[in-house]
Structure 1
Amino acid sequence: MAYTEVTVGDLIKLLSACDRSAPVRQAMNPFFPMAHRLERVVQAVDETGQPVVYLAEGRNADTQLGHLPPEVAVALAWQAPVQAPPRRPRRIAGDQ
């Protein structure tokens, strides 16, 4: 299966539909989904001489924000939708 990377143009197009005042977060690790703050954008050259852009998290202790909201993990197909178990009728004290 061929993998296609997201380009800067693709990212700009995807972000153009978003609220411009919304903070940008990075979702990482599908097996233990966490949210991170982005701090920097760095352009470099890869080992083949092609330009590449890195989105980097910050170095502060509060850069990792905690668990990714479940609805985001589901939207990314990192987790299956989970439904609460059905409620059972409450028992009354003294009932058998």
Structure 2
Amino acid sequence: MTVGDILDLLSGCDRDTPVRLAINPFFPMAHRLGGVEKSVDEHGRPMVYIAESPEAEQFGPVPPAVAIALTWQEPVEAPPRRRRGATRPDDGQ
């Protein structure tokens, strides 16, 4: 993914919407962004790093729909429920 790809993806979003960083597909959690840093990689090519907040603030699990959209997990349906029999009042016996 490039900076242009990110800009394209974000261009349709409201500028005032908070951004969270989804981390770890096996235990997906949401984190606050802390900054963007320009650098170069080991071959001298330009690189941009998006950092986590210095407070390392974690907001809890990524919503299941987001994990599914990121292909981090499969869609899961709740198992079918069996009908329970009606309870009958106890006649004191």
TM-score by length of 2: 0.86
From 47, 51, 72, the equivalent of 1:78 is 72
- Deviation of 1:48 after TM superposition, in Å, equals 0.8
SS at match of 2:38: strand
The within-5 A match list for 1:11-90 is 11-61=6-56, 63-90=57-84
Deviations 1:33-65 (A, max 9, x none): 11111010111111111111111011215x111
- Deviation of 1:8 after TM superposition, in Å, equals 0.8
Q: For structure 1, list consecutive stretches of 5 or more residues without a partner in the other structure.
A: 1-5
From 3, 8, 23, the equivalent of 1:8 is 3
Moved over 3 A (4+): none
Q: Quick one: distance in 1 between partners of 2:18 and 2:9?
A: 15
Q: CA RMSD in A?
A: 1.3
- Deviation of 1:67 after TM superposition, in Å, equals 0.8
- Deviation of 1:74 after TM superposition, in Å, equals 0.5
Identity among equivalent pairs (%)? 60
Q: For structure 2, list consecutive stretches of 5 or more residues without a partner in the other structure.
A: 89-93
Q: Quick one: distance in 1 between partners of 2:85 and 2:52?
A: 51
